[in-house]
Amino acid sequence: MPLLQYPQINQFLDYLKFEKRYSRHTIISYQNDLEQFFQYLISQFEAPELAAISSSMVRSWLAELKEEEISSKSINRKISSLKSFYKYQLKTGALIKSPMGIIIAPKISKRLPQFVEQIDMDHLFQHMPFSDDWKGRTERLVILLFYSTGMRLSELIQLKESQLDASHKQIKVLGKGNKERIIPISQDLLEQLQKYISDKPINAKVSDFLFVTEIGKSLQSRSVYGFIKSKLSEVTTIKKKSPHILRHSFATHLMNNGADLNAVKELLGHSSLAATQVYTHNTIEKLKDVFKKAHPKA
């Protein structure tokens, strides 16, 4: 529901959509956070002018979120949304000062990203059955491509046939903010993808999406989540079983096998090393485990 008192919200969202070219999912997250904050201002402070919004007002909203037992991670995201909003207001000259300057985000306990063990991924592809029909072929190849490239769910389901570069054995991926990156693939995976494309059912051949259903429709996020959860449940007991876990597995297995951190950063499409460095912790944990098992003085 648009907040007529604050047209700046829609102006900012348009900026994210048309200039920053953020995904629809990201824009909705920003919109929800901002509308929640400004609804609070309307109810508690009688809709103050943008320039009259103070740090104490922001803090009172954050305190209410904490009372509602909203997680620190979610609160941090809302703070980040507000900071981006106010940064834009300063950039456009709508404001000369931001109330977010002295707002400190709550600390989050760092958890190592979960991943599927390499032996379990090998077992999935070598021994677990997939149905022989088009659906089964699609599911197996989707999981294999996730694990072989580390791409995001949104990147994979939007993948077009034209993004497969057979001559160089690579895939051009359109990531966050419409940033392109190149991911190499093996000869075996390339051949499987080429055969999948050539074997598309008649109804599906008109679609330029790489992965399609039997009737040529692009894959939906919910169905991909569903079959990945089902298949991973057959080989692992980790709590989370999602496309993102396959991305974590891709990065962790690369690091565990000696890949360069900067190379993993580029393959994942991270904008900074900070996001990639979390995978070094898993590597350290593996080294500790090897030490405990192998060293006589451990």
Catalytic residues: 152, 176, 244, 247, 270, 279
| Rounded CA separation 249/247 (Å) | 5
At which residue do the structure tokens 């997939």 appear? 130
Write the DSSP string, 48-90: --GGG--HHHHHHHHHHHHHTT--HHHHHHHHHHHHHHHHHHH
Helices (H) then strands (E): counts for the chain: 13, 3
How far apart CA 266 and CA 179 sit, in angstroms, is 11
List CB contacts of 291: < 8 A, sequence separation 6 or more: 298
Residue 162 makes CB contacts below 8 A (sequence gap 6+) with 208
